[in-house]
Structure 1
Amino acid sequence: MAENTKKDTKKIEQEEGADGEADTEKVELLDLGPFEIIFGQRMPSYFFKFQFKNVEYSSGRNKTFLCYSIEQQGKECERSEGYVEDEHTGMHAEEAFFTNIFQECDGSLSYAIIWHVSSSPCAACASKIAEQLSKCPNVHLTLFMARLFMWEEPEIQQGLQQLQAAGCRLRIMKASEYNYCWNTFVDNEGQAFVPWEDLQDSSMFYEGKLLEILQHV
């Protein structure tokens, strides 16, 4: 898998607080071109803390981070994992996963795929994911989301409903999923994940919204 190759950096304001409080400090983030997708194994901890924070208003979070694990079950069980990052321009992370990582689906095998994403798919990506699942009935996708992207919009709600109809299991990330991602996909330098103060309340908020959306089918 390709590692990060383009590392022009810029200073941005970022929320970062190990004790759960919102601090503001300068950190370096990758300055991506308009059509660049980045693949990797472990992301910097400040990316995760900022991009996956489940705030209702996600100002400045204009990327999608997609952490994935693939279990291929057949004569032998194989597993792979990593993450994909986009800039919400050009190809989105969800499409990049199917274009660059999970390119072929062997009909004789069963696949269990789990995504943990910083934001739920846009309407176009939801449609593409549903199409992929319809082509590959032996693929079982579970999608954990930190935030719901523009959940008030009818086309976004329809996209989530379309995913559910295609067999995708939709879930909101809770503390246990954050801890799993922290230990699996983050270069955490041996530090334990420290939840922010309102993580649980925000998860419950999004869980309620997702339930409302999926019930109105």
Structure 2
Amino acid sequence: MADKGRPLMRRKGRKEEASAEMTKDVQTEGEAPPAEANGDSQVEAMELPPFEIIQGDRIDPFAFKFQFKNVEYSSGRNKTFLCFLLAEGNTADGLVKGYLEDEHTGPHAEEAFFMQCLLNYDPALRYTVTWYVSSSPCSACAAKIAEVLKARTNVKLSIFAARLFEWEEAEIQAGLKALHAAGCKLRVMKPLDFSYTWETFVENEEEPLNLWEDCKENYEYYQEKLADILQ
């Protein structure tokens, strides 16, 4: 896909506007316009303000189709959806799955994961974590996650992102590089990843996901940009 001078996706936006954009996007499957994103040193040392984090097992299908769509212009997508798989130990017997959704009133979904889903962290155990996120981490989140991974070498994290958040910004690129250097596996979501996430984390009523026309093209675009950043 040719580079059209992709506009930066902005984190903040009004939830009323996002809701309206979501309804329009799902009904018409059209493109939209600014966007969203997301926010561990030693987790124990963090002082967190009150925050709103929604946690559950299954995402509303309309929210998934809007928030995870890997469009070039991502208007109204001003929050982060984080679907996770968490395995403790060397087997998948204790696999935990779910999702987090942030409202940007405090910590972002990435930060909340370590506070809520790894609340009983045990340094003697091995943790294998996979995230499917609506957009890649912001610079602050990336730096905190990198610090956690360096401090907790028994945590192995893979992040698969539908879109790259503000990838043209130097601080965002530095954050992604820091994550990569800390051992985090980073990749853009492929078309098959969207179908898997739909089947695993969405209230889909056993309906298959009809991928949007430019899904593969947009994946290739973002993956090329990510490869350039991490090289």
Q: TM-score range by the shorter chain?
A: 0.7 to 0.9
CA contact (8 A) 1:74 1:108 kept: no
Partner of 1:137: 153
Q: Deviations over 1:43-93 (max 9, x none)?
A: 110000000000122110000000000011258841101000012331100
Q: Which moved more, 1:172-181 or 1:86-95?
A: 86-95
Q: Determine whether 1:12 maps to 2:9.
A: no
Matches of 1:85 and 1:210, distance apart in 2: 24
2:220 to 192, 197, 204: 204
**TM-score, length of structure 2 as denominator length:** 0.80
Inter-CA distance 108–178: structure 2 relative to 1 (3 Å threshold):
same
1:171 to 180, 183, 187: 187
Structure with bigger helix share is 2
CA contact (8 A) 2:86 2:97 kept: yes
Structure with bigger strand share is 1
Q: Determine whether 1:122 maps to 2:130.
A: no
Match for 1:12: what amino acid? A
Partner of 2:68: 52
Inter-CA distance 23–163: structure 2 relative to 1 (3 Å threshold):
closer
Q: Which moved more, 1:164-173 or 1:80-89?
A: 80-89
Inter-CA distance 136–199: structure 2 relative to 1 (3 Å threshold):
same
Q: Which blocks of at least 5 consecutive residues in structure 2 are unaligned?
A: 1-14, 33-49
Please give the root-mean-square deviation of Cα atoms over the aligned residues, in Å.
2.1
Count of paired positions = 196
Inter-CA distance 161–39: structure 2 relative to 1 (3 Å threshold):
same
CA contact (8 A) 2:31 2:71 kept: no
Matches of 1:61 and 1:143, distance apart in 2: 19
Matches of 1:124 and 1:97, distance apart in 2: 15
**Runs of 4+ off more than 3 Å:** 74-77
Partner of 2:116: 100
Inter-CA distance 208–74: structure 2 relative to 1 (3 Å threshold):
closer
Partner of 1:22: 30
Matches of 1:76 and 1:185, distance apart in 2: 17
CA contact (8 A) 1:130 1:166 kept: yes
CA contact (8 A) 1:16 1:23 kept: no
Matches of 2:225 and 2:31, distance apart in 1: 28
Partner of 1:27: none
Inter-CA distance 13–75: structure 2 relative to 1 (3 Å threshold):
closer
Q: Which blocks of at least 5 consecutive residues in structure 1 are unaligned?
A: 1-8, 25-33
Deviation at 1:102, TM superposition (A): 1.1
Inter-CA distance 175–74: structure 2 relative to 1 (3 Å threshold):
closer
Matches of 2:73 and 2:104, distance apart in 1: 17
- Percent identical pairs in the alignment equals 53
